[in-house]
Amino acid sequence: MRSKSLELMKEICTYVGSYYRSKGSSPSLSEIAKGVGIAKTTAYRYLVDMNERGMISYDGQTIETPQIDKCVSGYFSAPIVGSIHCGDPETEEEHVEEYVNLPESIFGKGEFYILRATGDSMVDAGIEDKDLIVIQKQDTASVGDIVVALDEDSQNTLKTFAGIDEESGYAILQYENHCKYPDKEIRVRELVVQGVAKHVIKAL
């Protein structure tokens, strides 16, 4: 099944919100399709999918406005793409579990995805097993950033980027559990950064 475009979802939200504010009612399926330049069947599939993701409320005829207002005024949708091991590097297959709406006022602007942490190597950084980590997609990092890193063996892990060793040229990924893993680190010849952790979502 072809994956849905998040950009097109945002266009649909923007159009429906604008239409409602000017007309006082939800646009028809034909109007949505014409407004964003897609086929009616495509518009219907997107509306059903967006309803399932919680981005809007759609009953086949009308779209409820509270969800529209959230969609177009400071919220963005981020996918939960599975887990990442907070321990030794481990290959993970990216798989979207679900999409969640996050407010820009708290999480900022950018392209984000969410990973579920497993393991205990990052507890001193406030990241524990089963926490949700909000990752900003980027391929660069500064010393001290907590990164999703892909090493030269195509394995990924969540660690603190501690810099480059001047003598060997290796990148250093630092564990953050000094009781269990004192001074433990991973050294890689070529480090590929897939994103930087920005927020932790956890249950109390």
> Which residues are the active-site residues?
121, 159
User: Which value, in Å, is the radius of gyration of the alpha carbons in the chain?
Assistant: 21
What residues have CB less than 8 Å from 56, skipping those under 6 apart?
Answer: 13, 16, 47, 50, 63, 64, 67, 68, 71
SS3 content of the chain, % helix, strand, coil (to 5): 25, 30, 40
**Helix H segments across 1-64?**
6-23, 29-36, 40-52
Cα 128 vs. chain centroid, distance in angstroms? 18
- Could you give phi then psi for residue 124, rounded to 5 degrees? -70, -15
* DSSP calls for 40-52: HHHHHHHHHHHHH
Best CA proximity match to 186, nearest among 92, 112, 114, 122: 122
